[in-house]
Amino acid sequence: MSSALSARPDLWHTAAMTMSTTQRGVMDRFLAGAMPVTLAVGFAQAAACPSPPAPTSAPLSAGLAATSPSTSPSPPAPRDPVPQAPTPSLAPAPVPSPPWTVRVFDGSGNVWRLWRDSGALPAAFAYEPMSPERSSSGTFSGGEARSGRLTSMQEGLLWQHVQRLHADTAHHIDARRMGTLALEVTIATAAPGTTLVAGSSAVDDVLVFCGSLGPAGD
């Protein structure tokens, strides 16, 4: 190979034009007889290979993670709770000192009378229904009369309903009419008073309470 390149210097010049400085140095030493063919070829190939880039201070994936926006959806912002109408408490209310009397007229002629005469006696109730003989139609009946005692829990619930009816001023009316609830309260520390209430959920609740009274309260 050395003799061939020596005999054709034009080939050497043509090849040298495509070589790097390192490769030409290797081939010059080979042509001068200072390096075997296999070693020269190996050096020339090694010189032709580009050097790997120097490592960066941080992996590429770390840089992408720091600069690229996250593809995970952000959690929705918490919503403010929707305001709810307050639910009236059914906890027993403070009971006035006896004697006291509460009368509930349901607007159909039926009357519940609830009272307590003294601290030594339990509270009691009596249901006085409308009878066909007294009704305007001559046929309406409020059912059977009944009476009994109130438990301490029922006594407290009664005054809870009384307080709600008194506080529901938006549904108080001036004149009694058919279907209007009348609440008559007599206590030792105030003059008797009557409250007329119509179209209120407090009316429905007190009528349900009165209708639940029966032998179980005895």
Which tens digits make up the pLDDT trace of 2-41? 454 455 555 545 555 555 565 566 556 655 555 554 444 4
**Phi and psi at residue 104, to the nearest 5°:** -120, 120
Q: What is the pLDDT of residues 104-159, one digit of tens each?
A: 999 889 999 999 999 889 999 999 998 888 888 888 888 999 999 999 999 999 99
121: CB partners within 8 A, 6+ apart: 98
Structure tokens belonging to residue 18: 């495509």
pLDDT at residue number 176: 86
pLDDT at residue number 62: 40
pLDDT at residue number 214: 77
pLDDT at residue number 150: 96
Structure tokens belonging to residue 14: 């043509």
pLDDT at 191 over 90: no
Distance of CA 118 to the CA centre of its chain: 49
Burial group, residue 100, by CB count within 10 angstroms (0-12, 13-18, 19+): buried
**Phi and psi at residue 212, to the nearest 5°:** -80, -10
Distance CA 172, CA 193 (A): 13
Average pLDDT over residues 71-96: 58
